């Protein structure tokens, strides 16, 4: 299982927000974060079984994914920091494959 579809959706939300889309907390943010939490939990269970990942790497990626799922709706988040966090999670996800 890969987390890439979630990462792509997070990037799409972030880019739309930077382009001017405004999100409603109750209608947009909460449902997305709840859905993301389910996907992240599934990914975490699979990642813990990977012989290529240490538990600390998995925990770090999970924390970053949870932060990204919320930060995506905040267009004032630093673009560089946002992209670096995405790259970090992608790297760990690829190690799992």
Range of the domain at 29: 3-96
Residue 97: pLDDT above 90? no
Counted domains in the chain: 1
Establish how many alpha carbons lie within 13 A of residue 34's alpha carbon, considering only the half-sphere containing its beta carbon.
Answer: 7
Domain containing 69 — which CATH number? 1.20.120.440
Q: Which residue, 53, 50, 44, 51, is CA-closest to 92?
A: 53
- Cα–Cα distance for residue pair 95/91, rounded to 1 Å: 6
What does the pLDDT look like over 14-72, one tens digit per residue?
999 999 999 999 999 999 999 999 999 999 999 988 898 999 999 999 999 999 999 99
Cβ atoms of 92 and 61 within 8 Å: the answer is yes
Per-residue pLDDT band for 12 (boundaries 50, 70, 90) equals very high
């Amino acid at each position: 299982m890969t987390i890439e579809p979630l990462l792509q959706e997070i990037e799409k939300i972030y880019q739309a927000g930077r382009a001017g889309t405004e999100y409603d907390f109750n209608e947009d943010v909460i449902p997305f974060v709840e859905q993301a939490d389910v996907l992240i939990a599934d990914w975490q269970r699979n990642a813990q079984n990977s012989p290529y990942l240490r538990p600390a790497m998995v925990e770090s990626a999970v924390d970053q994914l949870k932060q990204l799922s919320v930060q995506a709706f905040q267009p004032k988040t630093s673009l560089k920091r946002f992209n670096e966090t995405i790259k970090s999670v992608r790297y760990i996800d690829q190690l799992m494959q």
